[in-house]
């Protein structure tokens, strides 16, 4: 079986396991395997020298170092799956994973500047130009630091409310690892959410009675920024900004709590401490 045929089988598995869409894991895998198919698609299996050749092609395409490392990792994980399915000889995956990541400053790969948190003035200037739905979404993400995937999938059933307190149990990308995320909602954010929660179902429905995807949500923001010549930022920078604010005022542990970051083996005691800090942060800054 050639590499091209094996790629086809793996992509079928990805579509079934991860789903499809422009921002899905399947789409990311499709990008990663393109040089593999172009350079080694006709070969039966992949040698370490072939993987180095693929990485060299990525370097010559002037991709960022982090992008190259991530795409090589996806190719190597594909061969782990192929080995489990007996499509390639045993030991293929372990041989390929010996290729070390490109290190900063030790290769010709470019390192673009790190994306910085967006500041409050820039966010406020953008909010003033947004239509009501996009305005609500950006404000909720600014106050909570939630992931865009959680935001576009926000549903009334995910919220627990009483007269004073509100918490959100969003759909999130690590749910398959049995991670539970609870985001306490502060009074400013509650003012936005409570009217939306009067109706059942998905919270952020546009005129076509459907929700944004993470990709279309970002594109909508870009269109507003370009139309009114505003300083650009991405939804993910709102998450970074929330972490930066909380960390500067309450410490790194509070920022970790607000963003819902947990290790798999975190103890229940530590998780409880995180939730208390997240509630404190929401009451003061959300």
Between 204 and 117, the higher pLDDT residue: 204
CATH of region 3-96? 1.10.150
In the chain, DSSP finds a helix count (H) and a strand count (E) of 13, 3
Residue 272: its pLDDT value, please? 45
Q: Show me where the domains of the chain are located.
A: 3-96, 120-285
CATH of 120-285, one of 3.40.190.10, 3.40.50.360, 1.10.10.60, 1.10.443.10: 1.10.443.10
Share of the chain above pLDDT 70, in %: 87
Average pLDDT of the residues in 171-197: 80
Average pLDDT of the residues in 6-22: 91
> Residue 256: is its pLDDT beyond 90?
no
Residue 270: its pLDDT value, please? 31
> Residue 235: is its pLDDT beyond 60?
yes
Q: What is the DSSP string of 103-167?
A: PTTSSS-B-PPPPPPPPHHHHHHHHTTS-HHHHHHHHHHHHH---HHHHHT-BGGGEEE-SS-EE
Residue 20: its pLDDT value, please? 84
Give the chain's mean pLDDT. 86
Residue 132: its pLDDT value, please? 94
Between 72 and 263, the higher pLDDT residue: 72
C-beta separation of 242 from 145 below 8 A:
yes
In 3D, which of 188, 170, 145, 150 has the Cα closest to residue 285?
Answer: 188
The pLDDT confidence band at residue 263, using thresholds 50, 70 and 90, is very low
């Amino acid at each position: 079986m050639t590499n091209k045929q094996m790629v086809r089988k793996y992509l079928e598995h990805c579509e079934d396991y991860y789903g499809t869409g422009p921002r899905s894991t399947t789409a990311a895998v499709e990008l990663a395997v393109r040089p593999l198919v172009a350079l080694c698609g006709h070969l039966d299996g992949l040698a370490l020298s072939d993987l180095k050749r693929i990485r060299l092609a990525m370097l010559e395409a002037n991709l960022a170092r982090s992008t190259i490392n991530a795409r090589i990792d996806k190719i190597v994980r594909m061969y782990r799956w192929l080995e489990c399915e007996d499509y390639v000889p045993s030991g293929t995956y372990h041989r390929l994973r010996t290729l070390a990541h490109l290190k900063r400053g030790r290769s010709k790969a470019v390192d673009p500047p790190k994306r910085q948190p967006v500041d409050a003035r820039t966010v406020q200037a953008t909010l003033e130009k947004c239509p009501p739905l996009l305005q609500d979404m950006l404000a909720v993400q600014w106050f909570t630091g939630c992931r865009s995937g959680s935001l576009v999938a926000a549903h009334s059933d995910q919220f627990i409310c009483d007269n004073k307190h509100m918490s959100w149990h969003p759909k999130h990308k690590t749910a398959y690892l049995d991670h539970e995320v609870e985001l306490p909602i502060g009074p400013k954010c509650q003012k936005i959410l409570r009217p939306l929660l009067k109706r059942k179902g998905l919270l952020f429905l546009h005129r076509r009675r459907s929700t944004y995807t993470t990709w279309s949500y970002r594109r909508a923001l870009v269109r507003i920024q370009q139309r009114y010549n505003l300083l650009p930022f991405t939804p993910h920078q709102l998450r970074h900004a929330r972490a930066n604010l909380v960390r500067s005022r309450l410490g790194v542990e509070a920022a970790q709590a607000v963003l819902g970051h947990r290790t798999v083996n975190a103890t229940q005691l530590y998780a409880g401490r995180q939730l208390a800090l997240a509630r404190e942060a929401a009451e003061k800054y959300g």
